[in-house]
Amino acid sequence: MTAHRLIVIARRFRGPPTSGNGGYTCGMLAAAASKPVEVRLIKPPPLDRRLEIVDDPSTGGLKLVDGADTIATATPKTFELDVPKPPTYGQALAAVSDYEGFQEHAYSDCFVCGPARKRGDGMRVFAAPIAGMDLVAAAWIPDRSMVGADGKVLPEFMWAALDCPGFFATGAAVRGPLLGTYAARIDRCVHLDAPCVVIGWALMHEGRKHVVGTAIFDSFGELCGRALATWVEPRQA
């Protein structure tokens, strides 16, 4: 296997307390691919460790490995996803008081959606139900720590923003489902300090498995990216 590069998932970018946020991790792996991919998380991404991105000859994609352990795979794949009309930024902002994560959250310290994280540290993407719409939505303003030299949000943070609204769209957030597979298509990255709306909606429920769509819109209501994800609830003891 040929190593592409080394990455470290810093503790700041955790989802569960001891592992990387799934969307951020998938975005880091996808950024190394030369084509669209679907990422499958196999093991919890370890924090503050040097991980290798290597070729996967069996699929033509990539693997994220920690020594002999495969953490995630990125397989070439495209997808189609119809995106519903979003609420306005004002509607999403008004709904934040209904964010269920304020009452109970399986991962309250999550980089993306954890209410314990402050602005400038976490992303604070708090997706809540919107009255009269079959979806959840979050109002989000990217901060300076998430942008590149061009003032645009880096792709891995776009992937991260598109992650957790899907968690709340499953309808099973209190049971702490984990991200299984994830594919995102970023049409363009949003700008620093630009008010954005991120939405999530359910597509299928099958036992412990939930398939969801998510999308992000800029301050003009233009679609900037979409994602398709599978979430799986842990087995009950």
C-alpha span between 93 and 152 (Å, rounded): 22
pLDDT along the chain (237 residues), means of 10: 82 97 97 95 97 95 97 97 97 96 93 96 97 97 96 97 97 88 97 96 95 96 97 85
User: What pLDDT does 4 receive?
Assistant: 72
Q: Which residues contact 57 (CB under 8 A, 6 or more apart)?
A: 1
User: What pLDDT does 1 receive?
Assistant: 54
- What digits encode the pLDDT tens for the residues 38-61? 999 999 999 999 999 999 999 999
User: What pLDDT does 2 receive?
Assistant: 61
Which two structure tokens, joined as six digits, stand for 12?
Answer: 């700041």
Residue that is written with structure tokens 């003009």 in the block: 220
Residues paired with 40 in a beta bridge:
73, 181
What separation, in Å, do the N-terminal and C-terminal C-alpha atoms of the chain show?
38
Residue that is written with structure tokens 């109970």 in the block: 104
Q: Please check whether residue 179 is in contact with residue 159, taking contact to mean a CB–CB distance below 8 angstroms.
A: no
Which among 98, 95, 103 is positioned nearest to 174, based on CA atoms? 103
Which H/E stretch holds residue 203?
strand 196-206
User: What pLDDT does 115 receive?
Assistant: 96
The domains located in the chain, with CATH, are 3-76 (3.10.129.10), 89-232 (3.10.129.10)
3-state SS, residue 171: coil
